[in-house]
Amino acid sequence: MNSPRVSVVTPAFNASATLRETVNSVLMQTYGDLECLVIDDGSTDGTNELVKQLAAQDARVRLLVHQRHGNQGTAQSRNLGLRCARGEFIAFLDADDAWLPDKLERQLEIMDLRPEVGFVFGDVYLSVNSDRSYPMSAQPLSRDSFRESMATMFNADIRAPARILNLQLAPSTFVPSPTPLVRQSLFANGLEFVGPPHLNTMYEDFLMWRVLSMRTQVFCMQEPLAIYRVHYDSFTNQFKLHHSIVDHLSGIEEIELCFLEQCQDVIPDEWRPILWENQKTRLLGGAHHTPWRQLPRMLKLAHRYGVASDVLLRRIRKSVFDLRYWQHQKRKQLLGKTGSR
């Protein structure tokens, strides 16, 4: 069998409600020389059977599973896809998102015209619906307004993507996960996604985009290339619901440490104090939102950056403010009741 030009890597865990639309958006691309690698990450909801059905209908779909059909997590599922991919280019697509029909065709045009570019991504439409079985194509779509200037920022000069992804305080806001297309050669030296125990949160893809920005030229397309599904059961939403600000900041620290390790030979010396100061700024900014039960963890984290006392002071001030606000509201209620008599 001839190798396809593009390998699409799609991790799937209990994704039977959305996976058909996701895979169909790949198979219906205007550029068809591709393979769609769906990695069943230990699903128990019929995902495995669905992928087998899709593979029987289109030979470009391939089902991959971990040993003993285990649940290894998103990072290891993507890595399994990377090891089995045969394409010249690797594209990434989560099992609850979808591509626009000419996504690959437009990106490959850029890759062919600019061989120095190793990584290209673009904007997304947002699909907000609590019902995962409802087709994204059948509901209103929107765009985040802040991304309108994204391409201008990223394409300002050769090193702009690296500066933005690595020195901005919120790097996760800049690379929509359904859009990256990467030359396979960048993974030939063993580069893989990092998961537990080094990264214990949801940020393995953000780390990868940062590392790639240090190893190749990056191009950002202004137009939307995919549809990003926003729903209650999404991994991102569940993380926000069940994890604290301390979990988030600990995850960011893990990213920083992995980034420094993987890119130690190419990080400019002047960046290191900026990365350090950025982490201090995040900790100080998160002090107000830290639950009291999580404060010991927060202070331990802040101590490593020399801002533990500042974090504690900010948290106490926030509690005093909240108490005074509550007392003020209580007085207003009592005055209102008195005046109505």
pLDDT, one tens digit per residue, over 98-131 is 999 999 999 999 999 999 999 999 999 988 765 6
Report which residue type is found at 131: D
Confidence of residue 244 (pLDDT cuts 50, 70, 90): confident
The pair of structure tokens assigned to 60 is: 């470009």
d(CA 238, CA 231): 9
| Residue pair 183/88 in contact by the 8 Å Cβ criterion | yes
Query: Is the pLDDT confidence value at 179 over 80?
Result: yes
3-state secondary structure the chain: CCCCCEEEEEEECCCCCCHHHHHHHHHCCCCCCEEEEEEECCCCCCHHHHHHHHHHHCCCEEEEECHHHCCCCHHHHHHHHHHHCCCCEEEECCCCCEECCCHHHHHHHHHHHCCCEEEEEEEEEEEECCCCCCCHHHCCCECCHHHHHHHHHHCCCCCHHHHHHHHCCCHHHCCCCCCCEEEHHHHCCCCCCCCCCCCCCCCHHHHHHHHHHHHCEEEEEEEEEEEEEECCCCHHHHHHHHCCHHHHHHHHHHHHHHHHHHCCCCCCCCHHHHHHHHHHHHHHHHHHHCCHHHHHHHHHHHHCCCCHHHHHHHHHHHHHHHHHHHHHHHHHHHHHHHHCC
Neighbouring C-alpha atoms within 13 Å toward the C-beta of 128? 5
Mean pLDDT lowest for which of 164-173, 201-210, 331-340?
331-340
| Single-letter amino acid code for the residue at 23 | V
b/e per residue 57-75 (b: at least 16 CB within 10 A): eeebbbbbbbeeeeebbbb
- 172 pLDDT more than 70: no
CATH 3.90.550.10 region(s) of the chain?
A: 6-233
Given the DSSP bridges, would you call strands 61-65 and 117-128 parallel, antiparallel or unpaired? Answer: unpaired
Count of residues making up the chain: 341
Give the model's pLDDT for residue 239.
45
pLDDT digits (tens, 9 = 90+) for 38-69: 999 999 999 999 999 999 999 999 999 999 89
Q: What confidence score (pLDDT) does residue 238 get? A: 41
Pairing outcome for strands 117-128 and 217-230: parallel
Q: What confidence tens digit (pLDDT) does each residue in 181-211 have?
A: 999 999 998 999 999 989 877 789 999 999 9
Give per-residue pLDDT as tens, 124-151: 998 876 566 667 766 778 887 767 788 9
pTM: 0.88
Architecture of domain 6-233: Alpha-Beta Complex (3.90)
